[in-house]
Chain A
Amino acid sequence: MAILKVEHLSKSFGSTKVLKDICFSLEKSEILSIIGSSGSGKTTLLRCLNFLETPNNGIILVNEKEVFNGKTQKTLTESQKKENRLHFGLVFQSFNLFPQYTALENVTLARKLAAKKEKDYKSRKKEILQEIEEEGIQLLKQMGLEHRMHQYPHQLSGGQCQRVAIARALALKPDILCFDEPTSALDPELTGEVLKVIKELAEQKMTMVIVTHEMAFAKDVSDKVIFMDNGVVLEYGSPEEVFDNPKEERTKQFLGRFINE
């Protein structure tokens, strides 16, 4: 059973079609890498999955339940939309941490706000907050940040910030975690620590969709690879298929640039 199924997804900004008839599916614990040149629509696709953009058409299914349907999306209530969105987590290229909160507070804020709406919040407030706090600490430890928990984002390196952002996304226990070029804003010597964390998540069977320009990493870690070009899924298959035996001339051209580097 596919954990994520995307069918005929399309998105336009005004008259420019940015995503055209995107289809793919993902099994639980699988990792999908999306590669492609700048402007091909990779970010837009992730933003559609995370409801930051509304697709014009198509269907998104999570665990075979429809979370988006271009035909019926207007009938959804705000709380349904929110529930659907929480199937996904998103790690941004530029981290987008909240600057006035410490690493730990960044990780726990959303959960604490959500907990306030629980029925038993008043009676169990202390326990609930304690529990969220402990889970946050656990996640930061997992990211190797136990000594940075009480520091503010501006006191952390880019790689540390990105790991806090990953912990923050994990805190909400998403079914599918999406990364938009998680290492592109980092100095080369810091990319390794973030890729290592993602690899560890892979070992723990986290389902992930990763937009990346790190070809070696994508080839190593993914179960499936999509090559996007000009809003279209041009190539879709196992890393061996896409990287070693690409069908399309355009893919060869694109990959060639990376081999030459």
Chain B
Amino acid sequence: METFLQQLPTVLHALNIGFLQTLKLFIATLVGAIPLGLLICFGSTSKYKIISGFFNIIIWIVRGTPLMIQLLIIYYFPGLVLHNPVWGGSETGRFMASALAFIVNYACYFSEIFRGGIQGISVGQDEAGLVLGMSKVEIFVHVKLLQMIKRILPPMSNEILTLVKDTSLARIIALQEVIWAGQSFMKGSQGISGEIWPLFFTAFYYLVCNGILTVVLNRLEKKLEFFR
């Protein structure tokens, strides 16, 4: 017990730093994947076969392979195969590679959710807008967007909670996120070695984070209950 209390501040400090990296990856993914997902959604539903075909193939590849493999390919392919290590060997490089992999991966999943959300809105909404002289962009922004958000919020909440946990996959390319930080005390770090409890302890970080997110997302869903 005494050693545990002695170790606690050191471990918490390291885990905090690790979790900051986890959060950064989480936020970068959301910020990047939502607009990219919308773009892919429009692309995959384009009336031009070449464009929709192209985006649908991308969606198929990304959703058909493990995110872990995508991380490895994006990180190692440029350096080991093309002999052009664009990411460098630093933590920043690993973060950029992770963010790219996560954004592309999640954008594809989001795009399918968006597609369902848009297609679920009746064409009557478009037609009512058109007859009132509104442009297609105005109809999307002022009429359909909020209806779409309301529809996609439950499936998006699921994806967002999964994303928090999925960030741990970036450990495969040694991104120094919270699990990496916890594991470092097994190998030995800052005078502590052979301890597994810090690794187990990381679970609390995910729990607290997802707890907060659940509350926020539920509130948002409640907020949108004013219309049907």
0/1 string, A77-111, CB within 8 A of B gives 1: 01000100110111010101111100000000110
- Residues 133-148 (chain B) with a chain A CB within 8 angstroms: 133-135, 138, 142-143, 146-147
In the bound complex, what is the Cα–Cα distance between A110 and B138 (angstroms)?
9
- Residues 76-133 (chain B) with a chain A CB within 8 angstroms: 122, 124-125, 127-133
The verdict on B204 contacting chain A, using a C-beta distance below 8 Å, is: no
User: Which residues of the other chain, B, contact A114 by a CB distance below 8 angstroms?
Assistant: 133
Q: Are A109 and B142 in contact (CB under 8 A)?
A: yes
User: Which residues of the other chain, A, contact B124 by a CB distance below 8 angstroms?
Assistant: 92, 94, 96
The verdict on A6 contacting chain B, using a C-beta distance below 8 Å, is: no
A85, A89, A94, A152: the one contacting B227 at CB < 8 Å is A152
The verdict on A50 contacting chain B, using a C-beta distance below 8 Å, is: yes
Q: Are B134 and A50 in contact (CB under 8 A)?
A: no
B131, B135, B143: the one contacting A98 at CB < 8 Å is B143
In the bound complex, what is the Cα–Cα distance between A110 and B135 (angstroms)?
10
The verdict on A196 contacting chain B, using a C-beta distance below 8 Å, is: no
Nearest B residue (CB) for A100: B227
Q: Are A110 and B125 in contact (CB under 8 A)?
A: no
Q: What's the nearest-Cβ distance from chain A to residue B142, in Å?
A: 7
The verdict on A52 contacting chain B, using a C-beta distance below 8 Å, is: yes
Q: Are B133 and A82 in contact (CB under 8 A)?
A: yes
The verdict on A172 contacting chain B, using a C-beta distance below 8 Å, is: yes
The verdict on B47 contacting chain A, using a C-beta distance below 8 Å, is: no
Nearest A residue (CB) for B121: A99
The verdict on B60 contacting chain A, using a C-beta distance below 8 Å, is: no
User: Which residues of the other chain, B, contact A154 by a CB distance below 8 angstroms?
Assistant: 227-228
The verdict on A168 contacting chain B, using a C-beta distance below 8 Å, is: yes
Q: Contacts A100-B227, A109-B142, A113-B138 given: A172-B125 contact, CB under 8 Å?
A: no
The verdict on B48 contacting chain A, using a C-beta distance below 8 Å, is: no
Q: Are B122 and A96 in contact (CB under 8 A)?
A: yes
Q: Are A152 and B226 in contact (CB under 8 A)?
A: yes
User: Which residues of the other chain, A, contact B134 by a CB distance below 8 angstroms?
Assistant: 110, 113
User: Which residues of the other chain, A, contact B226 by a CB distance below 8 angstroms?
Assistant: 100, 152
0/1 string, A206-222, CB within 8 A of B gives 1: 00000000000000000
Q: Contacts A98-B143, A99-B227 given: A85-B128 contact, CB under 8 Å?
A: no
In the bound complex, what is the Cα–Cα distance between A109 and B139 (angstroms)?
11
Q: Are B133 and A110 in contact (CB under 8 A)?
A: yes
Q: Are B131 and A113 in contact (CB under 8 A)?
A: no
- Residues 190-230 (chain A) with a chain B CB within 8 angstroms: none
Q: What's the nearest-Cβ distance from chain B to residue A209, in Å?
A: 14
Nearest B residue (CB) for A82: B133
Q: Contacts A98-B125, A152-B227 given: A89-B138 contact, CB under 8 Å?
A: no
Q: What's the nearest-Cβ distance from chain A to residue B162, in Å?
A: 28
Q: What's the nearest-Cβ distance from chain A to residue B133, in Å?
A: 5
In the bound complex, what is the Cα–Cα distance between A85 and B227 (angstroms)?
29
User: Which residues of the other chain, A, contact B150 by a CB distance below 8 angstroms?
Assistant: 100
Nearest A residue (CB) for B124: A96
In the bound complex, what is the Cα–Cα distance between A86 and B132 (angstroms)?
7
In the bound complex, what is the Cα–Cα distance between A97 and B132 (angstroms)?
12
User: Which residues of the other chain, A, contact B127 by a CB distance below 8 angstroms?
Assistant: 52, 92, 96
B131, B146, B147, B227: the one contacting A52 at CB < 8 Å is B131
In the bound complex, what is the Cα–Cα distance between A202 and B225 (angstroms)?
39
Q: Are B228 and A99 in contact (CB under 8 A)?
A: yes
Q: 10 closest A-B pairs (Cβ-Cβ)? A: A110-B132, A96-B124, A96-B128, A154-B228, A100-B227, A99-B227, A90-B131, A100-B146, A86-B133, A152-B227
